[in-house]
Each structure stands twice: as C-alpha cells, then as structure tokens.
Structure 1
Amino acid sequence: MDTHALQELIACINRVHETDDVGLTFAEEMTRPLSDAWQSWDDADTEASQVLGVFLFYRYLAAHDRTDMLMAIRTLTPCLLYADIALPPDMLPFLADYGVCEAERLREDARGSPDPARAERAAFAWQRIVMATEDGHPQREERERSLRRARRLLAARRGDTAYLDQAVAAARAGLVPQGRRDRLATCHELLLALEERYEATGNADDHEAALRCAEELAVYAHTSARDAIGCSLLFSFGEKLFQRYLRDPNTTDLRRAIGFLRDSVEFPGPHLPTRLLVLSRALSIWSAAARDPGIVTEAIARAEQAEELVPRNHQDYPLIKWQIASLYFGRYRTTHSGDDLDRAAAAILEATLCLTRELQITALQSDIAFAQYERTEDSEHLFTVLALRKRVLRKLPEDDDLSRADALYSLSQAQMHWYRRTGSLGDLDNAVDNGRAALDLVAATDARRRPDFLCGLGKVHMTRFALRGERDALPEAIDRFREAVTDAPDRYLPLALLAAALGYRYDLTRDITDLDESIAAGERALGLAPAPQRAGILLDLSGARRLRFGGTGDATDLDHARAAIAEALALPALSARYRMRISLEQTELASLSTVNTAERLSAFEAAVELLSEVGLSSPHHEDREFMLSVHAGLGAKAADAAVAANRPDRALELLEKARGILADTAPTPGWRGNRATTARHLCRNATRGPIVTVSAIETGGLALLVTPSGVHPVALPGLRLHKARARHKALEEALASGACEDVLDVLTWLWHTAARPVLEVLKATGWQGTRLWWCPVGVMSLFPLHAAGDGHDGVMDRAVSSYLPTVRALPAERRRPTSPGRALVVAMSRTSGQASLPGAASEANSLSRLLSATVLHNEQATREAVLTALPSTRIIHFACHAQADTREPTRSRLFLHDQPLTPRDLPFGLDADLAYLSACATSDVMFLGADEAMHITGAFHLAGFRHVIGTHWRIDDLAAADIADHFYTVIAAHGPDHAAQALHTATAELRRAHPDRPDLWASHLHVGP
C-alpha cells in the first residue's frame, strides 16, 4: 500500500480515537490518501488492511453509507481469517458471515494438498470464524462442526489419524450382516466414518469402501419414497461416483453419477443447493464430451436453481456463482452470444466479492474480461486483465508448472494487446518472454495447451513484425504456426494464423509459393472453422486471392475473392468491425482495373458510413481515439476515389464525414458539427476566402479547393504518403538537432509539392484575396503549410493563413458582438520537473499592460483556478510548458502548478474570443490519429474560443515573448478578430530579421475565422 497514504490514514484514526469524532474521516485532506490507499491495497498485507478497514468503518459510522461498510468488510475479512489482530467488535458478525466462503475454500484447498501449512491455515480461519460468531447465531452449530473437521484434517496432515482410525474400526466392528434390520443403520455409520477419514487423508481405499457402502444404501433408497433421507443416500452414491470419475475418468461412472444426482434433487431441504451444484458440475463435464447444448442448458438451470436457494453468506454461494460463470463463458465460446458473456461477467464478479484469494476464480475472471475486451475493444477490460493475470502469477506456487504456464500464456497475450493500444515496448518484450516461458513449461504431448501456446507466441512475433518492423520476427511466427498445425491439424486457428503470416511474407518477398500456401491453409481453416469464426478467414482469403490475381491475372482468383466477400456478408450478426473490414476489402477489389470508378466509390462510401459505428462503439474517449486511429486515412482515400469518378463535391463530403467524428460528439454553440453536411453548404463557408484540404495517400496527394463557386480538385503527384512521412521525420530530426538548413529544405519541399500548386490554381480561378484557410488531413496536419516557401516565394508572401480542424468548423456567419469580458494570463516561469521559462513573466507583464489582464503566476496557476476562470474569460494566454501525447491526443497537457490541463478538461459551450497557447507543441498530433486533430489547440477552438494561437513545436522562450508582444499590440488596438493578421505580421517580422531561423517563425499558427 502507498506508504504516505497509509500514514495519513493512521494519523486520522488516532485523531478519531482522541476526539471520538468519526466525522474527521470525511475531512477534505483525507480524500486523496483514501483513494491512493484503496487503489494500492493488497489483501496480503493484513496490517495495512486493518488500517484501511477501520478507517472505512469509521466513515460508515459517520455517514451510514452502505458502500463504506461493504469496503470495510472487504478489507477487514483477510485480517479475521489470516491474522490474529484486533478488529472492531461491532464488525465481527459481518466479517464472520462474509468470511465463511473463503474459510471453506481454505479447507477444500487443504484437503487436496499434503502440506500441513494449508490445513493449519484452514483450521485457524475456522477458529476465527467461530470466535466471531455470536451465540444463538443460526449457523453457529454448523460453523463449529466445520472447525472440528478442519482440526481433524490438520491432525491427519501432521500424521495423527488415531481418532479417525478408531472411528472406522468401531464402525466396521459394528456392521451387521445383510438381512438384519439394523444393517442399513450400521452401514450408514461406516459410510460416515470412511467419508471423514477420506476427507482428512485422501486415501483411495477409503473412498472405494465408502462408495460400496453408499451403493448399498442407494439401492435401498431407490425402492423407497423420495424423502429427505432417501435423497441424501442417493446423493452420497452419486457424488462418490462423480469423485471416482474425476480421479479415474470412466464414462460409465459419469453417466451413473448424473442419474443418481438427478434423483437426489427431487426433495427439498437444507442440502439441496449443494446437491444441485454437484449435479451441475457433472453435467458440465458430460456436456463437453457429448457436445450436446441441451446438457449445458440443464447444467446452467441446476446451478441457477441452487443460487436461488442460498443467501450470499452461504459457504457455497461463491462456488455456485463460479459454476454459473464457467457455464455461461463456456457456452459463449461456442455461440459467441453477448448475453452469455455478460451473464458470465456478472456471475464471476459476485464470486470474487466473496473469495478474494481464490486463484481459480481470479483466473476465470481474467479470461472473461479478456473475452469482453476482444468483443468490445474497451481498454478498461484489458487493464483489468493485466492486473488480474499478474496477481495470479504472483501468487501461484513455483512448483505448479501447468497453472504457471496458463498464467504466463494469458499474461503474454494481454501484454501483446496492451502494446497494440499504448505502444509500450516493454510490454511487447515481456509478451515474448512470457510466451516462451509458458511454452517451456508444457510437455510436447500436451495436446490442449501446446497448440494454443504456439499460436499465442506466434501472434506476439507477428505483432513485432507488423507494428515494430522487426523482420526477424516473421520467420519465428511462421515456424510457431507450423508447429501448431503439426500438433493440431484438425483445428482451424493455427491454419488461419499460418495463412495470414504467409500472406505477410508474400508482401515482402513476392514469392508466389508463399501466397499459394497461404491460400491453401486458409481454405483448410475455413473448412474447420465454426460459423462465428469464418468472417476473418474469408476476409484473409479474399485478400490473398486478390493479390494472386494481381500477380497472375487469373480471373478465377478474382471470382473466388468476390465470392468470399459475399459469403462473409451473408454471415449472421456481423459486428461493425467486421463489416468495416469487409467494406475496406471491397474497396481494394473495386480498385482493380477491371472495375469501374463508380463501384470503387460506392465501396468507399459504405466504409465511411461505418466509421461512426466503429469509432464510437466504446463509452471511453481513449478507446474511441484508438478505433478511429486504426482507420485514419480512409477519408483521404475516399476523396481520391470520388475525384477519380469525377465527383469533387462528393469527395469533400466524404472527407468531412470521415473526420472530426470525436468533435461532433460534443458540439459547441455556433459549431456546425453535422458530418452529413453537403458540399453546397460547405462552400458557403468560403465566402471570406478559400478553404484548402490537403491529403496524401500512397498514389499521390490531393487538394480540394473549397470556394463559393464550388469544389476544385488539385492533384499533387509528388505528395505520396511514404514521402510525406519521411519528410516529417526529417523535420523532427532537424528541429531536435537545431539543423535550420534542413528545416528550410522541408519547407521548400512543402512549397513545391503542395502549397505552390494550390496557390497557382487559386490564382488561375481569379482569386486575388489575401486570406486562406488550410484544412490539412492525416500526416499533412503535422506540417506548417503556412510557412512553406523556397526563400524567394512562399505562402507567407502571398496570404494570411489560418487553420481549421474540418471545413465545417468555420461558421458561415460572423458572430454578433457580445459584452466585453476579462483577459487572463496563466504564466508558469517555474514548473516542477521542467526547465524554467523566464519569458513567461515578460509575456505576463506585456499582457497586463496592454489588456489589463489578470495574471495567475506560478503557485496561483492551479487547474481549479484556471477552469473556474474560463467561463467568464474572453481572452486567455498560456505561457507554460506543454506536452503532446502522440497516442492519445486528448491526454496532451498544459503544465500548471498542481495538475496538468488536458483537452478533456475543457468545458464545451464557452463563448470566448481568443486563446493563445504560448507553449511547446500544442498542435502536435500523431499521424495515426491525425484525422481527428484532437490536439490542445483544436480543443480550445472546439470548446468555444473563436480564435486560437498554437505552435507546431517548441520555440525559443524570448522569441515567443517577442511574438506575443507584437501580436497583442495589434489586438489591443483592433480587437481579437484581427488575430490571424496580427500573428502573420508578428511572425513575418521575425522572418525578416532571421530568415535562416525557421525554427523561430514557422511554428506559430492561427485556428479560427
């Protein structure tokens, strides 16, 4: 647990003891320590659990909030069961009721192990349970009986079985011959004695002898009425048959066990829930062998019937919930029913609330959470998986090879997916190590685990190749998949993965034999795959067939590719993700020379229509960012297809529809955030000057000139995507090393390949204005288009530039004047962990002089102070450090005194004039997510600031102060609506003074009208 938080809680508890004021636990300064303590709590640390539990109990006494009580019970129960420490007397009855489930699991665990330490833990736990149970409690007698059983088990583990041996000997001596009236009674006495010794020692001979007694009694019960005694006898025999099956699998034993267990549940009574649970377990095993869905349905019904009969503090309750979760999850793996998965998740959560240290339950909870992630791509599920799987691995015995192998494999897969989401190299490296370690722990003959582990490790290597460019990883992946196919030739997954990997290698080598083998493996996989798994295989087959058609020209492959897509489309209940993949494959098929441009455009239109459904499927913003980043560039390709079909208006509409999706989920007043906006409406936005979209795809670049007269496409053949990426990398390296000549070289390239062709076409159309709005797409969002030039001519010489996140972001009508408001300056000269910014004070002084601005300086500039001031602020200026988060742009931040300010913190619906972000990289976005342009600069514009000044990269502190001073001199004289001209004038003056220092004058940009 967090040491500082723990000390804060202890100090507060001491103050409560001194004052008898439990309300002190609600003091404002205790909020953070409580949160930190809860998040870092580990139930293995009983002393820390005691502190946290007592604190929560005092909170409950102060406010009687049931949540505090439940959290107190959860944290104090380990203290009752595992440690001899003092606990609040008023809590003991609740802890005893909550702890019986875990105490019983400890006894069950001890029964299966020869280790006396486990039996000692079980006996200690039951002793503490009995101590905490009040006299007269309805379960007091049952708990005392459990304590006696636990103590006898402990004695047996320590080698003392004298009491049990005497009981068996006495019962055998008292057994009368068959035919005597008291035969059944003496047989039953022997059965009980044998059961108790078997439970303590695990001796198989005792179990067989007990089974023979149970069978004799069951034969009698079958011919008698189904009363409580008869059902008890039937259950005893059925259970022992089932136990023998588990020890030595024999189908006859299992079938007979189910028959007797079914008969035993016909009479109600206190033991009925346990009988139903055992029957459900037997049915679940039978269903796996029989592959009969009706048996699974019965198993679920029996377990749910047991659930209805027990309270939550019943010792079998968590095991019943675990059984329900296992059954629903097992059925989900066959049916892929979301309802089954949801029911499994709800049931396992209930089980974990009762058994905090049960590793099998934790492992199942992890598997269910991973399935939820695969189904929804909700990162919260993946985060849960990582935490649970690390916990399981940490607590498993070192000598439990198979359980450790399962845990390592599961953790490896979770780490691989986490890398895909976050780019954390350490997680991918750990995924490789854990995958290999899992494989090392399983035998070559393990037909269940080994193929799965091989496939899992192969997928990790595929990720290394596909996302990290490690070419040596691809052969490793192919080798692992081949091994898995050899080990499990009748399973579809190894074949499907091998087919995909060979397709990747064909892309590298163009060796047609790889493509032939890929198609053959894919066809075999398709023949083995169940219906819910066919979509992905059909898509891969279509892609492989399409590639082979491109190489050989064999029309048969093209026909097969189209047939595969048609079959995939016909599959029931396709997720939005698969429908998107199908649409994208259709665009590839439609791009072939044998198809007309209208069909290609139609395919892109279908894909763009699905973007919102795919991108907004999660309630979490970071998940939406990730899903949309996966399909970044789709709008640019769709626009290219529309232009090829001679439909430039449609090109603009598709480009707009594919961009700014996140922004449109929270529109602001005056923001025309309708992605279905027509080109005609968008062109009306260009009355004050042309709006120019610029995009790059592999076949070349495209600019769309949006003017009142229509949309005019401009081909930019030199602006290929891979070249644009390389130039951006060169720009970043030049800025990092201070190589200004290289920065100028990038600006010259940008001028000749993108900006100059646009301006020349505009000039040819009769444009003679000076205002121009850039709306860059994808990788082009990372370039300072406004500063493109070759030293003799450039954009800054011809126009005043502004930027827009989307074309529809520029209102067609000017806003009516509003009442004046205040100006606010946030100046951070000193920031913890960052270099000092002496220019921040200079900027603050200049604005205070020019605009009579209020200044929040250093310690005054808290996050709360800034957010409180925003609604009444017309102009805000930030002179501080900033950091762009290139994977989750909405986590980019401006560094304030106490906490950073992120785009997600900003309130929507503001009515403000100007935000000036004199900070580093406030307009930086990663290429994958650049279609959304959700950087800090854009966020302030979306929040309601009409004009926003940001930067592409960090510039010299004093130069930034000089630009700000020139800028605000104009604003003070002419108002915020002159922001674009003011910035243009300030940076142009700096360029004239330092033409060889583009790092100083090319970074600033204006967003707005």
Structure 2
Amino acid sequence: MNLRNVALALQRSSSTSQTTQNEIQRTRDVVPHSDFSPSGIASPTITAWNTVGTAVDRHRKLAIDYEHVLKAVRKQRGFEDFLHAPKIKTLLPSIEHLDGPVVFINVHSSSCDALALSPNGGIKRIVLHRLTESQAQDLRSTWTRFLRSSGLRMRGAVSIDRLISKRTNMLGVVLERVWTWIVHPILEALNFFDDTPSRSHRLPHVTWCPTGPLTQLPLHAAGIYDRPAADRLHVYDHVVSSYTPSLAALLRCHKQPGTHQVYHPNVLVIAQPKTPGYAELPYTRDECERLRAVMPKYAHTVLLDKQGTVEHTLAAMNYHQWVHIACHGTQDAVDPTQSKFALYDGPLTLGALMTTVADSAELAFLSACQTAVGNKNIPEESAHLAAGMLAVGFKGVVGTMWSIYDADAPIVVEAYYKRLHKLRKSKKPGIIPPGYTGSAYALHWAMKVLRERVGEQNFVKWAPFVHFGV
C-alpha cells in the first residue's frame, strides 16, 4: 500500500479529520524502520521500538494497529471501500467493453467449477462434474514432471525432436483429460460448439483465469489428438485463448492507453545470441532480422549481444511501445521476483521490472523460456515474467510456459508480427475491438503456422506460447 498517496488523498477530502491525517502521517514515519512486510503498519501509539518486548509482540501490535488505521480511513467519506475487493456492480462499466467471456476455474476438495463472466455482466456457473482436486493435482504433477525430466526449462537446451516419439502419448493423454474434464464442458456451456465460425469470421475470444494446480496446465492446447484428422477436437478450432492473472489485471490492461491509432509504434528488440554463462542461441539473430523485415517502416531500437545490458534495456523500455526480448529466461521457484531474463551483463529480474514505469508501453513478446510459468508453492499467484510485464504497464504480453526450440522462434515471430501488422492496418470495423491490441489473434495465427510446420502432435514445440492481457 502506498501510504503517501493515501495521505494525499485524505488531505484532499473535506471529510477527513485532522486526527486521521496525523495517524496516517505518523504511520508512514514508523513503517520504513520495521523489519516486517507492508501488511504490518505501525500504530501512532508506538513511541519507540524498545517498548515492545519481542518480535512476535511487535508483529501482533502492528497487525492490531493496521486494522485500527484501516477502520479510521474507511470512516471517511469516499473511502468506505478502501482496500476492499471491488464490488461487481462497480466494475460493470469496464466489463461491458470486454470482447468475450472471462472464465475463472476453481479447484477445491468440495467441488470443481468455473464461473464465466460475460461482457453484459452475467455470471454463469459451470460445474465440472468429472474433475476432482486430486485429479487436477495429478494432471499438474504429470505435466511438470515431464518438463523437469526432459530439461524443457531452457530455450534451446535440448533437442526436442528426441523427445517427441518417446513421450507424445503421455502428453496427449494429459491434453485429452484437460479437454474432457475442463475445457470441453466450459465451451459447451457457453454454446461455442453451436456455430463454428467460417474462415471469413472471427473466432470468439476467451480469457482464462485458472487457479490452483490448473495455472500450470496449457488450457489453450487442450484437445484429442490421437484420432483420425477429421475427428480430432481442439480448443483452438473454436476459440482464441488468452490468460489473465486476475479480473482486476485484465480490466487495468484494457483501460490503459494503447497505440491502436498509431500506425507505426516504436519497437525495442533485445537479442542475446551469446550470453556469457549460457548456451548460445544463434537463431535470435535470425529472429531479429525477420522482425525487422516484416515491419520495415517501424522505428526500431536493436540491442544486440553486448549492447543488451540491464541498464540499456531498462532505460530504453520507457521510450518504446512494443518490446521484443529474445534470450534465455528462468523462473525462480523460491523467490518469483527474482525470475529473470539473462542479458549480456547480468539478470534482468522481475523485481527490477516492477520499478520500471512504462507509460507508453503496449505489447511485449518474451521469446524466452519460463516467462509464464506458475509456481506450485503459490498456486493462486501469477508471479512470473509475463504477469510482471502486465503489472509494469504493458497491455498484452506473449510468454512461454516451457522451453521453446531455438529454431522455431523465428518462424513464430515472423508469423506473429506479419499477422499483427495486417490486423492493425485493417480498416474493417471490429477487427480489433476498442481497448484491445490484436496480439491474441496474431499469436493464434502464428501457432497455426508453426503447427503446420512441425505437426500438431508435437505439442512441446507449439504449445508453450501463451498470451496474457488484451
């Protein structure tokens, strides 16, 4: 909580008592010296830390006085809901501008179900009768165990071709169960099977907000792949998928100003073909060249190899609407804020990105690995690089759930930016709804291109790419 902003807002409120303002001010003065997290806010009655016996006593006192300050603030006119979760009715003006349903999937020992929030504010509960909490955990465990044992946590680290024949069946079973137990019942309840759009029509857009063990599963790749081609069932044949860490994050992304009216946004490209201490990624050069060829009229800033330092990257982000990062990336399971991009002179961490203000930011393409990996230790939180990029101000982010094959990245990047450029310059109404970027549909097309190249049963090659935001 930013107490400085709270104090300023209260000062501007005519209903705020001087006593409450003084309490907030004194709280601000005490908290910076505390060893505790922001959840512990000091009391105005505390005159010195040495009056409290133990750390446990101090923490208990802070917790009590935190509630005291909250109650004092909430008594002021206009601050009644301060730090409360917003009521759905207050969000309706923003929700009605969404271009499709947001689906929240809950996993619990008592029941598993989904809540589909429609743009008109309607909420539909969908009971997932065939899914249990233990089954969801088993699916997550099977999937993540495969990724760990196969080394699919680093871009280009293994020859994925070697893995396909051995483990396709296991991965296919996981994706089939995700389809049968989770995705199919949801799409059926939302009537997305009634009329499959023709080639000339736009597929509907679904934004997934999974919880618990489902945060680490590729819902966007669910389907049945072991049937004859004509009988196969895939989620991507019926909807375009995006993800969001929360409804609040999605609505924040939608509200942020974009560059839809800007025909040629500035593009920052960071590529690391030879990062010290990491395996070489020679195809990152090809990736950069294809991107520049697809969008020759766009203003580019390219930080290649030694130019791609942490300082240069952070400074340049403030002056570019689009950012493309091609390098190694890793998830820190112990401290997610230390998840990082491997740049030439050191790591660019999520923690560092959180301090970056990107007022003009719109799109980020994270062509690295583990940029959208959940953490089983904090399953309800999306503390990964893709979510971090949304938090610092980007409207849409493309990330990866596991390793991408170095040679495949240029194919995806070329198809993605070609499609995005085509969508952005289209004069046809409704191609890109207000507040959206077109990024989800561009990635959907790029995945189709890659599947046609590598085969749809090579899940490990095309399925890691995911879209977050709008």
Matches within 5 A, 1:777-816: 777-791=211-225, 792-811=232-251, 815=257
Post-superposition shift, 1:784?
A: 1.1
Structure 1 counterpart of 2:208: 774
Matches within 5 A, 1:146-165: none
Structure 2 counterpart of 1:698: 109
Deviations 1:715-759 (A, max 9, x none): 113332232222112112223333232122111111111100100
**The structure with more radius of gyration:** 1
Matched, 1:987 2:453: no
Matches within 5 A, 1:121-200: none
Residue aligned with 1:958, SS = coil
Deviations 1:859-899 (A, max 9, x none): 11000000110111111111111111123212111111112
Matches within 5 A, 1:71-86: none
Residue aligned with 2:386, SS = helix
Matched, 1:959 2:387: no
- Whichever residue aligns with residue 275 of structure 2, its letter is T
In structure 2, relative to structure 1, the CA distance for the partners of 1:979 and 1:341 (3 Å cut) is same
Structure 2 counterpart of 1:730: 142
- Whichever residue aligns with residue 777 of structure 1, its letter is T
CA distance in 2, matches of 1:958, 1:764: 35
CA distance in 2, matches of 1:882, 1:696: 29
CA distance in 2, matches of 1:814, 1:726: 38
Q: Is the 8 A contact 2:222 2:235 kept in 1?
A: yes
Structure 2, unmatched stretches of 5+, are 1-44, 71-80, 151-162, 197-202, 226-231, 425-435
- Whichever residue aligns with residue 1000 of structure 1, its letter is K
CA distance in 2, matches of 1:693, 1:837: 37
Deviations 1:353-391 (A, max 9, x none): xxxxxxxxxxxxxxx8xx42x4567xxxxxxxxxxxxxx
CA distance in 2, matches of 1:869, 1:929: 32
Structure 2 counterpart of 1:822: 266
CA distance in 2, matches of 1:340, 1:943: 37
Residue aligned with 1:970, SS = helix
Post-superposition shift, 1:934?
A: 2.1
- Whichever residue aligns with residue 789 of structure 1, its letter is G
Deviations 1:287-346 (A, max 9, x none): xxxxxxxxxxxxxxxxxxxxxxxxxxxxxxxxxxxxxxxxxxxxxxxxxxx95982168x
Q: Is the 8 A contact 2:358 2:394 kept in 1?
A: no
CA distance in 1, matches of 2:268, 2:242: 23
- Whichever residue aligns with residue 844 of structure 1, its letter is C
Residue aligned with 2:140, SS = helix
- Supply the RMSD in Å over aligned alpha carbons: 3.2
CA distance in 2, matches of 1:575, 1:940: 31
In the TM superposition, structure 1's runs of 4+ consecutive aligned residues that sit over 6 Å from their partners are: 764-768
Post-superposition shift, 1:833?
A: 2.1
Structure 2 counterpart of 1:941: 390
Structure 2 counterpart of 1:742: 170
Post-superposition shift, 1:764?
A: 7.5
- Whichever residue aligns with residue 291 of structure 2, its letter is L
- Alignment length (residue pairs): 364
Structure 1 counterpart of 2:49: 342
Q: Is the 8 A contact 1:823 1:851 kept in 2?
A: no
In structure 2, relative to structure 1, the CA distance for the partners of 1:955 and 1:740 (3 Å cut) is farther
Q: Is the 8 A contact 2:415 2:449 kept in 1?
A: no
Residue aligned with 1:855, SS = strand
Matched, 1:763 2:191: yes
- Whichever residue aligns with residue 282 of structure 2, its letter is P
Identity of aligned residues (%): 28
Q: Is the 8 A contact 1:827 1:857 kept in 2?
A: yes
CA distance in 2, matches of 1:866, 1:574: 39
Q: Is the 8 A contact 1:682 1:807 kept in 2?
A: no
Matched, 1:868 2:305: no
Matches within 5 A, 1:178-327: none
Deviations 1:76-99 (A, max 9, x none): xxxxxxxxxxxxxxxxxxxxxxxx
Between Structure 1 and Structure 2, which shows a larger proportion of strand residues?
Answer: 2
Residue aligned with 2:233, SS = coil
Residue aligned with 2:461, SS = helix
Matched, 1:879 2:326: yes
Match of 1:714 among 107, 126, 137: 126
In structure 2, relative to structure 1, the CA distance for the partners of 1:342 and 1:715 (3 Å cut) is same
Deviations 1:972-1001 (A, max 9, x none): 333392211111111123224412210011
Structure 1 counterpart of 2:422: 973
CA distance in 1, matches of 2:371, 2:58: 31
CA distance in 1, matches of 2:281, 2:343: 13
Q: Is the 8 A contact 1:875 1:912 kept in 2?
A: yes
Matches within 5 A, 1:520-539: none
CA distance in 1, matches of 2:348, 2:193: 44
Q: Is the 8 A contact 1:886 1:924 kept in 2?
A: no
Q: Is the 8 A contact 1:796 1:988 kept in 2?
A: no
Match of 2:337 among 850, 866, 890: 890
Structure 2 counterpart of 1:851: 295
In structure 2, relative to structure 1, the CA distance for the partners of 1:829 and 1:574 (3 Å cut) is closer
CA distance in 1, matches of 2:113, 2:238: 21
Deviations 1:7-54 (A, max 9, x none): xxxxxxxxxxxxxxxxxxxxxxxxxxxxxxxxxxxxxxxxxxxxxxxx
Q: Is the 8 A contact 1:688 1:771 kept in 2?
A: yes
CA distance in 2, matches of 1:727, 1:704: 21
In structure 2, relative to structure 1, the CA distance for the partners of 1:767 and 1:948 (3 Å cut) is farther
Matches within 5 A, 1:42-57: none
Residue aligned with 1:719, SS = coil
Q: Is the 8 A contact 1:923 1:951 kept in 2?
A: yes
Structure 1, unmatched stretches of 5+, are 1-337, 346-367, 378-531, 533-572, 580-609, 614-656, 658-663, 666-673
Residue aligned with 1:928, SS = coil
CA distance in 1, matches of 2:224, 2:378: 30
In structure 2, relative to structure 1, the CA distance for the partners of 1:697 and 1:834 (3 Å cut) is same
In structure 2, relative to structure 1, the CA distance for the partners of 1:341 and 1:725 (3 Å cut) is farther
Post-superposition shift, 1:971?
A: 2.3
CA distance in 2, matches of 1:376, 1:746: 48
CA distance in 1, matches of 2:276, 2:248: 40
Q: Is the 8 A contact 2:257 2:360 kept in 1?
A: no
Structure 2 counterpart of 1:678: 88
In structure 2, relative to structure 1, the CA distance for the partners of 1:971 and 1:765 (3 Å cut) is closer
CA distance in 2, matches of 1:783, 1:576: 40
Q: Is the 8 A contact 1:971 1:982 kept in 2?
A: yes
Post-superposition shift, 1:831?
A: 1.7
Post-superposition shift, 1:705?
A: 0.4
CA distance in 2, matches of 1:893, 1:839: 20
Q: Is the 8 A contact 2:329 2:342 kept in 1?
A: yes
Higher-RCO chain (CA-CA 8 Å, sequence separation at least 6): 2
TM-score of the superposed pair, with normalisation by structure 1: 0.34
In structure 2, relative to structure 1, the CA distance for the partners of 1:842 and 1:727 (3 Å cut) is same
